[in-house]
Structure 1
């Protein structure tokens, strides 16, 4: 058993996020484990780049209100206590609304070569504004 009392808060890398996003790792896999888990906090308007996960991703919203969007234009408004599952390979983004912060626990099972995340281009301001307009 390992008791981890706290983890340092890190600012998420600007090359993968727009706005201010903060991360506390909950679980970093050590072989043979493959589960990575992190608490992410998004300030209003902050969001991930487009990305996908080889084996999918689960987001559990812990605080605030956020948005999750997919390439086909589907946008879901998520609130504290809700869970959203992104299937393997689906290109998506997630972040806070324009006026409310959002925090979630992100769960990803790695594919044996890291966490299986493929990072893509930023979500444009126009794409984000359209998502906010669609679901608020």
Structure 2
């Protein structure tokens, strides 16, 4: 009887150990497994599509998504508590920090926006732009939104 019970106990312990380490397994988020959403009208001007790519599970706090801006579309002013990285994957766009010059960004460019720097980004008036946006959450927050960017600022005037 002992020889029959020992393997069952061993399998139970192995199963418990496997379940305890399930979060340590490599996971693949399949392309297209999450639906696209339109950028919220309160946070964007123009036609914007957001595709969530990933969100880290605690203790990780990183998340990322692909954002596609049609010509003339842009974010509202906003900040990120731990900064943001933009990886431009297609098209031509702009990024501007408050009190700074509007800067052109192109496919292949990587943009770093430091923590708490008020800024906006989006497409040019004649070309769409797509970027992957990566940021980290602090106390559950990755972004603080503010007012929309005026047409005057979008056109190149300093805020």
Corresponding residue of 1:107: 134
Q: Which has more strand, going by share of residues?
A: 1
Residue 30 of structure 1 pairs with residue 62 of structure 2 = no
What's the offset of the Cα at 1:114? Answer: 2.4
Gaps of 5+ in 2: 1-25
Corresponding residue of 2:103: 76
Q: Which has the larger radius of gyration?
A: 2
Residue 2 of structure 1 pairs with residue 27 of structure 2 = yes
Corresponding residue pairs, total: 131
Residue 63 of structure 1 pairs with residue 90 of structure 2 = yes
Gaps of 5+ in 1: none
Report which structure shows greater RCO (CA 8 Å, sep ≥6): 1
Q: How far does the alpha carbon of each residue in 1:8-57 deviate from its partner, in whole angstroms, 9 at most, with x for none?
A: 11111001000010011111232221001000000000000000111100
Q: How does 1:15-54 map to 2 (within 5 A)?
A: 15-54=42-81
Q: Which has more helix, going by share of residues?
A: 2
CA RMSD of aligned residues (A): 1.3
Measured in 1, the distance between the counterparts of 2:98 and 2:111 equals 16
Q: Secondary structure at the match of 2:112?
A: strand
Structure 1 stretches of 4+ with a deviation exceeding 4 A read none
Q: Secondary structure at the match of 2:52?
A: strand
